[in-house]
Amino acid sequence: MTREGLGPSDLDRVFPFHVAVDRDLRVTQIGRSLAKVLPQLAIGARLFDVCVLDRPREPLTYEVLRDRCQDLCVLSANHHALVLKGQIIVRDDADVLLFLGSPRLTTADELSNLGITIDDFGIHDAIVDFLFLSHAQQSALAEVREMAERLAAQRREVREAHQRITTLYVASRVFADSPSLAIALQVLVPSLAKTLGCTSASAWRQQEDRLICDIVFPERDRIPALRLGMSRGMIAGIFATGEPMWLPTGHNLADGIIPDPQPDSIDPPTIRYSGVLPVVPVCGLPVIDGGRVVGVIAFVAPTTIPRSDDLLYLLGEIATNLTKFTTHLRTTTELAAARDAALASVRAKTEFLANVSHEIRTPLSAVIGLSTVLHGMHLRPPASAVIDDIQTAGRTLLRLVDDLLDESRIDAGKLSIELATFDLVALVRAVASPLQATAALRNLPVAVELAPELRSDLIGDHVRIGQILTNLIGNAVKFTQRGEVRVRVRCVDADATTATLTVAVSDTGIGINADQLERVFEPFTQADGSTTRKFGGAGLGLSITRRLLTLMGGTIAVTSTPGSGSTFTVELRLARAPVDLAPTSATAPGSPNTSRTRTQPALAPAGTPTIAARRRVLVVEDNPLGQRTTRLMIEQLGHDVEVVGDGAAAIEAVRRTSYDLVLMDCHLPVLDGFQATAHIRALPAPTGAIPIVACTASVMIDERRRCFAVGMDDVVIKPLSPAELRRVIESTPPPATHLPATKSLGHVLDLARIEMLRELLDGNRQVALDQMIALFRAHAPEYLASIEIGARSRDLVALRRAAHGLHGMSLNVGASALARACADVERGAATGSLSSIDPILSSYQEVLTAFAALVGTA
Amino acid sequence: MYGLVNRGLEDLIRSTYGDATWSRICQTRGLDAESFSTMQAYPDGITYDLVGAASAELGVPAAEVLERFGAYWVLYTGRQGYGELFKLAGRSVEEVLGNLDALHGRVGHSFPAFQPPEFTCTRRPDGTLHLIYRSTREGLAPMVVGLIRGLGEHFQTPVAIEHTVVRGDGHPHDEFVLRVSTPQSPP
Ligand code: HEM
């Protein structure tokens, strides 16, 4: 041993796994740790009996160990896990070989196998640090794996949560939008199945003692007439309990499917959809309606799916919402039924009123008509005064009936505002003048101030505006004993397309108390109950006025000082007609007593000679009183008249005799006025083209539409005043110029254009013309339908486009009146207002009639 | 301190007081309940913070939390795959105590971010063990008590612990005298 050599105890502390051998490889010295782990290797034991040499790969001999002392030496113990790695040191002139090493370890696990602890190693030995590091690395890796798994699980959870939320969202949308349970289930069932992870779903409902299947998802799984017993199985269970159910894994609650036609013979343990996949019920929820289980939604999969709290919650949530939905549906249906019933009763009331008004109007017409006739006979006083009173009373009564009718129509939402271009100034004058005349009798001046900036070309419902003016001015006159009534019409605001008007009607009458002021616009109210008795009227005038204004987007206000007078101010915004628009037939202002009619294109334009040619008029009227009245009036006007009592007789009469005009009552026995007109229109010209004017006591707009639809030229409302009757009769073409066919055609068609067409289209002209007409006949109905639909749905864009189309087409075939009517509607739609399409409908009818006459005649 | 310590604290609270309690504790300190990775060094403040929050939440003095944690930690690390390292430390209470210093010393060298404690354990003539605990950190002596109790439990060897010198007041470290009984049954 050299001076710096280690003594045995130092060697043992530093290298507890060392071993020293002699030339025979007998152990001469051994470290404590090695001795502990490998007791066989005691002093005197031979190394090669206990170990083999792993490295170098040579036999374990003294020479090998000595010669390879520069190399790594690995000894592994026989039948033992211990492997030592180290180095040989040659000592004492080669008498002793010293092996210095330490166990070869890769994991801390091996330590416990060897039964060694930290203090079995030399302090310098890095193997322990290596173990710490390797352990740290392993635990870090394990942790990363764990994190990755947790992340994946979280992702899955998020995905599932998202799917659940989506399903709940889908469900909420479905419940909000679906009009019925069946539709809701169609959407809901597939979405739910997907969320629950089930392959198929089905909806079941009870039929007698079976459950039958309504919806199967996917559709390909449907088996015709799938039926289910109600005694066992999940679906039956849910049906019985009314609770959502999720079958535990390994359940045996299979559903018994009963396929037709032998309902009770087969009862397989599992549902087998389409015979491809055997599937088992997984979960389901009840459909509850009106507190009763009415059905079950069931979900199936190839195998059971583990119950999950979240999904069970989802099922419960959907079941709850489904119940809310059915309850909601039920109440909505009940509400709708109640609303329909209420509407029906309103409609019934309106119809009743309309009928009553018709019934009242008919005899009233007779009273007024006959008194007019008597008046015309220039009786002596006091008879003439009595007749005047009868007339006044009759007209008052008529007003009352009309007011009641308006009120009920507004209630029923049946009063529509008809837009047309009208002359405001003329309208105000026309309304005011008869009232001025009445007031003048009492020395009451009615001053009308029309602001100079007023535009006369406005678009609005002139009849209703006239009615409002009549009501206001009439009231003012009625309630003012002395002083004056003043009407101020102003335009307070205007731009290119609209004008805002104010009409202020002031009086110096009795005035209205502050507390009554609030109620003057309520129906059946007058400032003072006694005024009704004193001045007459039902107290509907102001109520109707305000409601009409509301319908037209206008307002009315009142200020009053009791004892010194009141002022009613109306504000109304109207569309302005385009400047270039020449007044059309619709510009005629309504006067208080004229009906809501327009001069129809089929009739000659206004301005016919005052000394009219004698016309021959056919009056179709079933009421004898009415017959007599009309006959008398027409005769007084100096025309010929014939009377028939029903529609069939009318057709007979026009076939037999040629008339200039038919005055047709609409409601007739045997064949009513509409049917009769349709028949007449179907006759060849000239009979088929004879002017027919409807004469009706009904003021319902629907009825007027019907009149034009069947081809009548005009509608007048009973009772007819002599003036009205004269206008109607004398606007028919006089018989002297009444050339067959072509004459009335001229009003419908632009004959010059037809001629030009004939010129232009060379070759067989008539054939070409026929083709043009055929083209019109083929395509016009389409436009017409679009116009009708556009008007009904208030789709101004569509209306404008269709009217434009028909306009062009009409111009091509020379249907000038129809073209004009279309242009009116088109222009109206362009300025944002909905004009009546009646003129188009009636003109179209005329064009067809005219074409019928034209084709094959020229 | 080593993340495993924080995770150990977390596991103790979750398993004895429930997940909700742990979430609340983390919330009061603005910590993410699942963010400790075991092999990472975290600022000591977090560990002290968690102990403080747990003490407030559970209504138990911080020293007791530390002691419980110490006892739990031995059992916890044994369960969490540290069993092998534990075996490296020794096969009896005495052996482990004897190796504590070597163990922590090596840990300190392998992971420079760690600042493990130092221990000196000597057998006294009367058969008791004298344990000196030196640390860069303060206030963790209750944890040492818990850890030793845990060791006793682990090896089913009752250990009587006496905290003879308390750090502070001129004492730079803590000292304990331990009486280790014979094991009740082999571990
Ligand atoms: C397998 C066994 C063990 C391992 C691997 C181990 C490892 C560690 C590690 C890594 C630290 C943290 C150092 C740092 O973050 O700065 C630590 C701290 C500590 N260890 Fe151990 N330890 C073990 C067993 C023990 C035992 C049985 C005791 C018993 C007394 C103990 C007492 C402590 C103490 C008191 C601390 C707190 C740190 C301080 O005081 O500064 N350890 N240990």
Domain residue spans of chain B: 3-60, 90-180
- Predicted pLDDT at A629: 79
Residues A725 and A758 in one domain: no
A33-44: pLDDT as tens digits = 999 999 999 999
| Domain termination residue (choose one: A516, A546, A578) | A578
Domain CATH number, residue A829: 1.20.120.160
Nearest CA to ligand 1 atom 1: B86
* A146 in reach of chain B (CB within 8 A): no
* A151 in reach of chain B (CB within 8 A): no
Residue B149: CB within 6 Å of ligand 1?
no
- Predicted pLDDT at B7: 84
| Identity of the residue in B87, B99, B110 whose CB atom sits nearest the CB atom of A119 | B99
Residue A315, in any domain of the structure: no
Could you list the residue range(s) of the whole structural domain that residue A638 is in?
596-738
Residue A156, in any domain of the structure: no
- Predicted pLDDT at B79: 61
ipTM: 0.80
Q: Give the distance, in angstroms, between the CA of residue B143 and the centroid of all CA atoms in the same chain.
A: 5
| Domain termination residue (choose one: A738, A770, A785) | A738
- Predicted pLDDT at A725: 83
Residues A768 and A705 in one domain: no
Report the alpha-carbon distance of residue A497 to residue A659 in Å, rounded: 46
| Identity of the residue in A109, A132, A143 whose CB atom sits nearest the CB atom of B38 | A143
Which atom belonging to ligand 1 lies closest to the Cα atom of B1? 15
Instruction: Choose from B80, B82, B110, B111 for mutation: most chain A CBs within 10 A.
Output: B110
Residue A752, in any domain of the structure: yes
Reported as a pLDDT band with limits 50, 70 and 90, residue B103 is confident
Residues A465 and A614 in one domain: no
- Predicted pLDDT at A278: 55
| Identity of the residue in B84, B98, B110 whose CB atom sits nearest the CB atom of A111 | B84
Check CB contact under 8 Å for B88 and A129. no
- Predicted confidence (pLDDT) at residue B100 exceeds the cutoff of 50: yes
Residues A769 and A796 in one domain: yes
Q: How many structural domains compose chain A?
A: 5
| Domain termination residue (choose one: A703, A723, A738) | A738
| Identity of the residue in B38, B82, B102 whose CB atom sits nearest the CB atom of A118 | B102
- Predicted pLDDT at B80: 64
Residue A384, in any domain of the structure: no
Q: Tokens standing for A6?
A: 């280690």
Q: Tokens standing for A761?
A: 């289209």
Residues A718 and A605 in one domain: yes
- Predicted confidence (pLDDT) at residue B55 exceeds the cutoff of 60: yes
Report the alpha-carbon distance of residue A677 to residue A675 in Å, rounded: 5
* A139 in reach of chain B (CB within 8 A): yes
**For residue A72, which of A84, A90, A60 has the smallest C-alpha distance?**
A84
- Predicted pLDDT at A855: 58
Centre a 10 Å sphere on the Cβ of residue A532 and count the other Cβ atoms it contains. 15
| Cα-only R_g, chain A | 53
- Are A809 and A782 spatial neighbours (Cβ–Cβ below 8 Å)? no
* B41 in reach of chain A (CB within 8 A): no
- Predicted pLDDT at A697: 67
Report the alpha-carbon distance of residue A479 to residue A127 in Å, rounded: 122
**For residue A450, which of A488, A416, A419 has the smallest C-alpha distance?**
A488
Asked if CATH classification 3.90.1520.10 holds for the domain at B90-180, the reply, yes or no, is: yes
Check CB contact under 8 Å for A117 and B89. yes
Residues 6 or more apart in contact with residue A806 via CB below 8 angstroms:
A780, A783, A784, A787, A818, A822, A840
Main-chain dihedrals φ then ψ at residue A116, nearest 5 degrees: -120, 155
Residues A554 and A441 in one domain: yes
Residues 6 or more apart in contact with residue B187 via CB below 8 angstroms:
B91, B92, B154, B155, B156
Residue A365 burial (10 A CB sphere; 0-12, 13-18, 19+): buried
B120-149: pLDDT as tens digits = 999 999 999 999 999 999 999 999 999 999
Domain CATH number, residue A607: 3.40.50.2300
Residue B1: CB within 6 Å of ligand 1?
yes
Residue B7: CB within 6 Å of ligand 1?
no
- Predicted pLDDT at A701: 61
Check CB contact under 8 Å for A108 and B99. no
Query: Any long-range contacts for A777-781 (C-beta under 8 Å, 24+ apart)?
Result: A777/A848, A777/A851, A779/A809, A780/A806, A780/A809, A780/A810, A780/A844
- Are A778 and A790 spatial neighbours (Cβ–Cβ below 8 Å)? no
* B86 in reach of chain A (CB within 8 A): no
* Ranges of chain A with pLDDT below 50: 1-2, 258-277, 526-538, 580-611, 736-743, 762-763, 856-858
